[in-house]
């Protein structure tokens, strides 16, 4: 058995960095025709073998243009990875920040699922993965907006999975834990990363390749019967 995406069209939102970029590269390497989104043209890597869509999910006009593209593209695979976060104490969560986080992390995947599933229904085939987080399975202080969006994303996954399974469209959630992305390295010191690693049963953070492999399995033809599942990729953290 091997994973092969030859002849498959795949969409990865937020595919310019981190987990999104990694899974897009893996999909390309396995034969997929991959489209990624980014918020500006300069965010796309020069020479990368992707189709690109510039879209700002906080802008209604930009989002609507993109959704029209999705409706017409007839993707086989969709990975809703784009997301934003802002950490604040509950009493200080700004309403605009709340609305923006819900818009990008939950409302946009909902609209993309609506648009992409129509083409998948025609093909009687589809794989959708919504990227949540361990903070959509458990939570901690100062994550009110982010956790609300990610728990909501899991609810969307369950409802969509129940409705779309009859069309051979499998909808799942992948929830990464602490992951060594470029952004993680930029915002956390080596000491803080070591302290976090000590709280994880495997005593290390995930790398993007490991999370990417989990996503690839869920959207591949090796998965023919899993739908509505939340695959937590966290080295055992949520079970501690």
Active site positions, annotated? 146
E strand intervals along 40-142: 51-54, 77-80, 126-131
> What three-state secondary structure class fits 47?
coil
For residue 104, report the phi and psi dihedrals to the nearest 5 degrees.
Answer: -75, -45
Q: Which whole-number Å values give the CA distances from 202 to 184, 197, 198, 236, in the listed order?
A: 18, 8, 8, 7
- Exposure letters 32-58 (e unless 16+ CB within 10 A, then b): bbbbbbbbeeeebeeebebebbebebe
Contacts of 140 by beta carbon, 8 Å cutoff, 6+ apart: none
Number of H helices, E strands in the chain: 8, 9
Contacts of 34 by beta carbon, 8 Å cutoff, 6+ apart: 10, 11, 12, 15, 24, 27, 28, 49, 50, 51
Half-sphere exposure of residue 32, counting CA atoms within 13 Å on the CB side?
29
């Amino acid at each position: 058995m091997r994973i092969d995406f030859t002849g498959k069209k795949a969409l990865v939102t937020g595919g310019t960095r981190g987990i999104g970029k990694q899974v897009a590269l893996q999909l390309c390497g396995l034969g997929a025709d991959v489209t990624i989104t980014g918020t500006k043209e300069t965010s796309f890597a020069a020479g990368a073998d992707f189709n690109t869509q510039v879209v700002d999910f906080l802008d209604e006009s930009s989002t609507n243009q993109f959704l029209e593209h999705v409706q017409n593209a007839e993707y086989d695979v969709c990975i809703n990875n784009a997301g934003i976060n802002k950490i604040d104490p509950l009493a200080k969560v700004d309403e605009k920040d709340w609305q923006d986080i819900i818009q990008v992390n939950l409302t946009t995947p909902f609209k993309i699922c609506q648009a992409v599933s129509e083409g998948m229904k025609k093909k009687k085939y589809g794989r959708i993965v919504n990227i949540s987080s361990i903070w959509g399975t458990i939570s901690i202080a100062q994550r009110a907006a982010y956790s609300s969006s990610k728990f909501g994303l899991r609810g969307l996954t369950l409802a969509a999975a129940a409705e779309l399974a009859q069309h051979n469209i499998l909808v799942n959630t992948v929830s990464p834990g602490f992951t060594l992305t470029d952004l993680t390295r930029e915002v956390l010191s080596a000491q803080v990363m070591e302290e976090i690693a000590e709280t994880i049963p495997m005593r290390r953070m995930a790398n993007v390749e490991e999370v990417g492999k989990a996503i690839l399995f869920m959207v591949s033809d090796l998965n023919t019967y899993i739908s509505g599942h939340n695959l937590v990729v966290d080295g055992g953290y949520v079970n501690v």
